[in-house]
Structure 1
């Protein structure tokens, strides 16, 4: 996979975020892009036009449009998938304080998508997203803290972050992880969480439940 220089990108992202409001026209372009992105009562959307208008808005400093462009390139919505372009637009959104872009930059660094994998930098971006009111930032931090990935292992803080984020994410992997973190202290609740995760399709949780039946 083609990669970009993670050091240069990290230095660029460390600069002060660009918080200036984008011009109103950028929101008109953003709305036009959304109309072309989805199928409406007037017919099918046009993903190429959606990309065009999101790009116009993003180039005027619209962080939400930059994030949307990142998704388009990541998923190949009407164009070829391009992880390098996806990361670039996520970074531009993140630098303008977009909490969704910040989360995605963290994900790219954690998984090594378009940049060299660096869990320590991923954790920084997840924390930035979390402090910017992105509940999934706490979710991702919890897993890294529980496993000691990119930061010192801290099961107590991992539990706190999962208990904070789980009511909003309702993620079955979060239930599975929290179940293991509280198993010794509260086996009844741990079993309940495993059962809920298994019902949601988590095969590992279903396997772990067998311990309670043995």
Structure 2
């Protein structure tokens, strides 16, 4: 399902169709596929695929992606961003730093830069 979403998203072998891509991503996410949950989080955070922004749904999908193995470390980075800014969650610097650290340990460069900019110790092991 997720891969079908990617094909329609990128127009690979099929005519590009963002609405159909969204449907496949949504279906894969509902079956616990962590990469699709990350895509759904990004969809609602930024308003992709003709969906309105919805910070509550975004943070929910990012949490699910992290819980289901987080193949995309950016899920933790974006959840950290949401905690730092109070988008969709109660503003919480401690939880933001925790998420940034998780993302950094998983290799997310943005999280590493964020921790550095905040003067936080950086450990990636």
TMscore range, shorter length:
0.7 to 0.9
- 1:81: Cα distance to partner? 2.3
Q: Which of 75, 79, 85 in structure 2 is aligned with 1:147?
A: 85
Moved over 2 A (4+): 78-81
| 1:119–1:149 contact (8 Å) kept in structure 2 | yes
**SS in structure 2 of the partner of residue 169 of structure 1:** coil
Verify the 8 A CA contact 1:136 1:169 in the aligned structure 2: no
| Aligned match for 1:168, one of 106, 110, 119 | 106
Distance in 2 between the 1:82 and 1:154 partners? 38
TM-score by length of 2: 0.84
RMSD (Å) for aligned C-alpha atoms: 1.8
Task: Return the offset for 1:146.
Answer: 1.5
Shift of 1:79: 2.9
Q: Does 1:121 align with 2:62?
A: no
1:209 is matched with none
2:34 is equivalent to residue 96 of structure 1: no
**1:180 corresponds to:** 117
SS of residue paired to 2:90: coil
Query: Any conservation in 1 of the 2:77–2:108 contact (CA below 8 Å)?
Result: no
After TM superposition, the score normalised by the length of structure 1 is 0.51
Aligned residues: 119
Q: CA offset at residue 99 of structure 1?
A: 0.9
Q: Which fold has the larger relative contact order, with Cα–Cα distance below 8 Å and residues 6 or more apart in sequence?
A: 2
Mind listing any 5+ residue stretches in structure 2 that lack a counterpart?
none
Contact 1:145/1:158 (8 A) holds in 2: yes
Contact 1:71 1:86 in 2 (8 A): yes
CA contact (8 A) 2:11 2:17 kept: yes
- The structure whose Rg is larger is 1
Q: Of Structure 1 and Structure 2, which has the larger fraction of its residues in helix? A: 1
